[in-house]
Chains A and B, each alone.
Chain A
Amino acid sequence: MADPKSLYQEVILDHNRKPRNYGELAQANHKAEGHNPLCGDHLSIALNLDGERIESIAFQGESCAICKASASMMTASVKGKTRQDAETQIQEFRDMATGQLDVEKQPHHLGRLTVFSGVRDLPTRVKCAILPWHTLHAALHAVPDISTESDNDPMHAPIGDA
C-alpha cells in the first residue's frame, strides 16, 4: 500500500486551510447539495452557466480535508471551462480515484488534480474525494440533491419528540 501520508501533501493541506471559491454565489442558475451520510459530510455547489461556459462557481459545507481540498481545487479548475470540459474532468477524476485511470501512464486533463491519485489506496476515503465532483455533476444537470449512498437512510425519519 502506498504511504497514506502522500495524500496529505502541502497543496491539499493548503486548499483545506484556505479553500478557494468558498461561500455563497449571489445569482447562481445551477445548484446541488451533496452529502455522505456515512460520515455526515455535506457540501453545496452553486454555479452560473453562461451558455455552455461555467462563468462562476462556489461551494460551501462541512467536510474532511480531502473533500474540502478536492472541492476547492475542482472549483478553481472548472471555472471558465465549458460544461463539456467539466464533464470530462468529472469522469477522469472519478476514474483516477477508483483506480481505473493511471495518471502516470494514460492521457488525461486533470493537471494538478493528480495530487489526489493516492486516495485509490484508501478505499474508505475515495468517497470523500469524489463527493464534490458528483455534486458538480448534479449541479450541471440541475439534479437538486445527491448522496453517496442510496436514499434510504433510516435516520431521516423523525425520532419522536426529543
Chain B
Amino acid sequence: MNMSQTALKSAPGAQATPHFDVERIRADFPILKLKPGGKPLVYLDNAASSQMPQQVIDRLVRYQTSQHSNIHRAVHTLSEIATAEYEEARRKLARFINAREEREVIFTSGTTDAINLAMHGYGRKFIGAGDEIILTTLEHHANIVPWQMLAEEKGVKIRVVPIDDAGEVSIGDYEKLFNEHTKLVGVAHVSNALGSVVPVKQMIAFAHARGVPVLVDGAQAAPHMKLDMQDLDCDFYAFSGHKLCGPTGIGILYAKAALLERMQPFKGGGDMILSVSFEKTTYNVIPQKFEAGTPPIAAAIGLGAAVDYLSAIGLDAIAAHEHALLDYATEQLLRMPGVHIIGTAREKAAVLSFKLDGVHPHDIGTLLNQDGVAVRTGHHCAQPVMQRYGVPATSRASFAFYNTMAEVDALVAGIRNVQKVFC
C-alpha cells in the first residue's frame, strides 16, 4: 500500500512508465475519443468520477439484454441467473478487497450511502450521550455530516484531528484525542481535496488497542491502490463504483461480519426480512439484512466487471503510472510562477490541488474547459480543508491510469493560457 515504493520517478521530459501501454488502455474508453468544442478531451476530473471502459459497458448491455430479472425472488431461470450474477459480483468485490467472507460486502448506492448505513446501523445503536467520535480535518462532507446528525440526535461529541501545512494528519494529535469516551474513528484513506494518503493502518492499530472501531472512507483510495481488508484490519470500509470505472448508484460498505451481526438494519422492506407478520418480523441474515428492496442489480454486476478490469491491469501498475503522472505534473507546476500547490504530503495519490495568484478557481475551470481540459473547481465537499488553508475553493486535477504525460502538458499549457488572460 505504500505508494512511494511502487512509484517510478518520471524523468525530466515526461517519461511514461515502462511496460504500461497507456494507448492500448485508452482504446478501451470510448468517451476519451470525444472532442468537446473541437478540442481533444483531457479528462482530469477522475476523483469526482472516472470513465467506464467498453468491457464494463458491454457487461451492462449483456446483463440487460439476456440476464435481467429481479433477484432472490422467483424460481424461474432468469431470476436464478440474475441472482447468481449479482452474488458473483459480491464475490468479486470481496476478493478485490481481500475480505475474509463475501457476506462482509454490503452493496450500497455509494460511499455516502455506505457511511449513512454505518451511522444508522452501528452508530445509532452503539454510540450515545457523552460518547465521542474522532474524525479528521481531511474528511469529505460524506464522512462528517452523518456523524453530525448522530451527534445532534444523541448528544455525541465530535473531535477533529488537525492537519499540518502539508495536508498530513498529525498522528501525535490523533492519539491525544482518545479518552474513555471514544467510541468510533472515521478517517479518509486518501483525501479527495489534497490527495494525502493517510496512515490508516497505524491509526487503526492505535484505536484497536483501545477497543475503538474504525471506519475508513476509501472513496479515493480504492481506485488507486491495492486494498486488503484483512491486513488493514479496519472495521468498516466504504467506496463508490463510479470512481472505479464502474456505474453510478452502486458502492459498498465492507464491515467485519461480527459487527454486521450486531448492527441494526438501516432500511426496512423486502429482501431484508425472513418473515413478516404484524406481530413480529424477523430480519434476514447478513448481507441481505442491509439490502432492503430491489438493489441496483445491473450496477452491481457492472462494478464486478470494473474490478475485474482493474485487477487485470493490476493495481500496482495503475498506482505506478498514476504516480509518474502526479510526479511529472507536480514538477511542472512547481516551476510555474504564480502557481501554488495545495497539499504537499509526502505520500499522495493522483490528486493535484492548486491555486493561481489573482485568479479565482471558477475562472480557471471555465478557461481550462475551453481548452478541452476538465478539472474540478470548488470546495470539493471538503470545506474544513478549505478553511484550513484559508481558501474558498481550489482547482483540482485528478489522474487515472488512462491519462498520459501529454495530457499533463495540456494542463500546464492551459494554466499558462489562464495566466495570460488574467495578466
Contact = CB atoms under 8 A, between A and B. Distances in A.
Contacts of A161: 157, 159-160
A16 B422 CA distance: 9
B252 interface: no
Given A159-B384, A160-B158, A162-B160, A13 B37 contact: no
Contacts of B137: 162
Interface residues of B, number: 33
A122 B360 CA distance: 16
B405 to A, nearest CB: 27
Given A40-B386, A40-B393, A155-B383, A66 B362 contact: yes
Contacts of A38: 378
Interface residues of A, number: 28
A63 interface: yes
A63 to B, nearest CB: 7
B152, B363, B393 — which one has the most chain A CB atoms within 10 A of its CB? B363
A28 interface: no
B370 interface: yes
Contacts of B363: 8, 64-66
A128 B362 contact: yes
Contact of B392 (A8, A16, A62, A122): A62
A30 interface: no
Contacts of B383: 40, 155
A161 B392 CA distance: 21
Contact of B422 (A4, A13, A66, A154): A13
A41 interface: yes
Contacts of A39: 361-362, 377-379, 392-393
B359 interface: yes
Task: State the majority secondary structure of interface residues on B.
Answer: helix
Interface stretch (B122-130, B140-148, B226-234, B288-296): B140-148
Interface in B325-380: 359-363, 366-367, 369-370, 377-379
B414 interface: no
Contacts of A160: 135, 151, 157-160
Given A4-B367, A39-B362, A39-B377, 19 more contacts: A4-B366, A5-B367, A13-B422, A41-B360, A41-B392, A62-B392, A65-B363, A65-B422, A66-B363, A124-B362, A125-B362, A154-B148, A157-B148, A157-B152, A159-B144, A159-B384, A160-B135, A160-B159, A161-B159
10 contacts: A3-B370, A39-B378, A39-B379, A39-B392, A39-B393, A41-B362, A65-B422, A159-B384, A161-B157, A161-B160
Interface of B: 37, 135, 137, 141, 144-145, 148, 151-152, 157-160, 162, 359-363, 366-367, 369-370, 377-379, 383-384, 386, 392-393, 421-422
The 7 tightest CB contacts between A and B, nearest first, are A40-B392, A160-B158, A64-B360, A162-B160, A64-B362, A65-B363, A154-B145
